[in-house]
A and B are shown apart, each in its own frame.
Chain A
Amino acid sequence: MPELTLDGLRVTARPGTTVLAALQNAGLSPLRRSLSGEPRGALCGMGTCSECRAVVDGVTVRTCLTPVRNGQDVRRLLEVNRDF
């Protein structure tokens, strides 16, 4: 069973499931915040809405399209940085 880290929390997930499923099973919601600070999470679950984005191993991905793998480091995008 793949072991991964979700915002520092170590979890195991069933092979073949998605990072989104792992996050939801761990009760980690919302996944990110909009520029105005609103909570956002998976809407379509099939790669179209881009609302389930999170950073996996340093790269922003759509978690609903990203399969779990052993050793993944997953971070939610909860901080809002607007430059100006």
Chain B
Amino acid sequence: MSALHAIVIGGGMVGAACADTLARGGARVTVLEPGPVGGGATAASMGHLVVMDDSPAQLALTARSLELWEALAPALPPQADYHTCGTLWVASDDEELAAVEPKRQAYLAAGRRATLLTAAELSRTEPQLRPGLAGALRVPGDSVVYAPVVARFLLERAGATLRREAAMALTDGGVRLAGGVVLRADVVVVANGIGAAELLPELPLRQRKGHLLITERGAPAVNHQLVELGYLKSAHGGDGDSVAFNVQPRPTGQLLIGSSRQFERPDRDIDWPLLRRMLRRAADFLPALARTSALRVWTGQRCATPDHLPLIGPHPHLDGVFLATGHEGLGITTALGTAEALGAQLFGEPSALLAHDFTPARFGRVPEAIHA
């Protein structure tokens, strides 16, 4: 009996995790990636492994993914920089602090640890934060990772064949490459982030640009990934441009500083006024940043869906085509849970994640496009 042949379109974190799961299920895997492995949204990301409770499905997916990351961590190469620094969700005022307890209860119910820090405990834990903050939720199990290294590691572990070619179109039972060659496969997994919108324009995907900055070594010392509790408001607050305080300590003594969100900005250019807003916001929380030099600034494109949940599962109309895209800002965190959910659908294995609907069919009937 010949093994199942699977093509994974996209060699980023999500594609690599899917390739790894498919290979462990016995499939022969070919990955199509025209650029460097993990060179797209994966390289543009912060690599924050974070439990988020925006919806029950998101909480289940992120919490399960953190368990899978913890299981994977001992196998990772040191260059993956995996580190459990935990997250502090920082409350600016009493109103934000009041939102902490329901969030804490949600995390506990999902099997994650979470503790409340008072204002005094917060300033002892992170002395570089400005005085006068109301407190924080500490989620000690959250981690950070340098994702491009993990993507490469998972593809190697999968024994996947890497073809440095772009998928131009999905055909009946395969993929047409840029040169016109058609690769046949039993299963095609579309896992190329916002690139999926070009292959399958009928999908409800939008690109959402983000900026990141990394400082010089010798930045103000921070012990946790720091995110303002207002992040969710700004992250999902609407279609306008937004920024939020989000910094991450790197093992080099540098700080990675985010975050920004912009729809309909498909270019890679730096938006300097927006970057200034983002940095002012960061310096508002960490005043010492104002005297820190930047080393590099870059942008990336998140792939967003209308309900902020990824598309994981069969394409509603195309036989053998599965989707693993639309992860917005959580692709690194949820790559492993995504792969588990996909594997469970393909191989009929049990997964608690199947209790939630991540399939593209949840959006009802998507308009049928013609696929050559």
Contacts and interface: CB of A to CB of B under 8 A. Distances in A.
B295 A83 contact: no
B252 interface: yes
A35 B251 CA distance: 10
Interface string B268-303: 000000000000000000000001110100000000
B293 A59 contact: yes
A50 B295 contact: yes
Interface in B235-276: 249, 251-253
Contact of A61 (B83, B252, B293): B293
Contacts of B77: none
B217 interface: yes
Nearest to B252: A35
A55 B218 contact: yes
A25 interface: no
Contacts of A50: 295
Given A53-B216, A55-B218, A83 B249 contact: yes
Contacts of A55: 218
Nearest to B85: A84
A77 B83 contact: no
B253 A81 contact: yes
A58 interface: yes
A82 B251 contact: yes
Q: What is the predominant secondary structure among interface residues of chain B facing chain A? A: loop
Interface residues of A, number: 13
A38 B218 CA distance: 17
Interface size class of B (residues with CB under 8 A): 10 to 19
A53 B292 CA distance: 13
B292 to A, nearest CB: 8
Contact of B218 (A35, A77, A84): A77
B153 to A, nearest CB: 19
A53 B218 CA distance: 12
Given A53-B216, A60-B218, A77-B218, A84 B291 contact: no
Interface string A51-84: 0010100111100000000000000010001111
B331 to A, nearest CB: 24
Given A35-B252, A77-B217, A58 B291 contact: yes
Interface string A23-61: 000000000000100000000000000100101001111
Nearest to A81: B253
B295 A82 contact: no
Nearest to B219: A60
B251 A60 contact: no
A77 B252 CA distance: 13
Contacts of A82: 251-253
Contacts of B293: 59-61
Contacts of A59: 291-293
B251 A83 contact: yes
Contacts of B218: 55, 60, 77
A72 B286 CA distance: 26
A60 B216 contact: yes
A58 B293 CA distance: 10
Contacts of B252: 35, 82-83
Most chain B beta carbons < 10 A, residue from A55, A59, A81, A83: A83
Interface of B: 83, 216-218, 249, 251-253, 291-293, 295
19 contacts: A35-B252, A50-B295, A53-B216, A55-B218, A58-B291, A59-B291, A59-B292, A60-B216, A60-B217, A60-B218, A60-B293, A77-B218, A81-B253, A82-B251, A82-B253, A83-B249, A83-B252, A83-B253, A84-B251
Which A-B residue pairs are the 8 nearest by beta carbons?
A: A60-B216, A60-B293, A83-B251, A84-B251, A81-B253, A84-B83, A59-B291, A60-B218
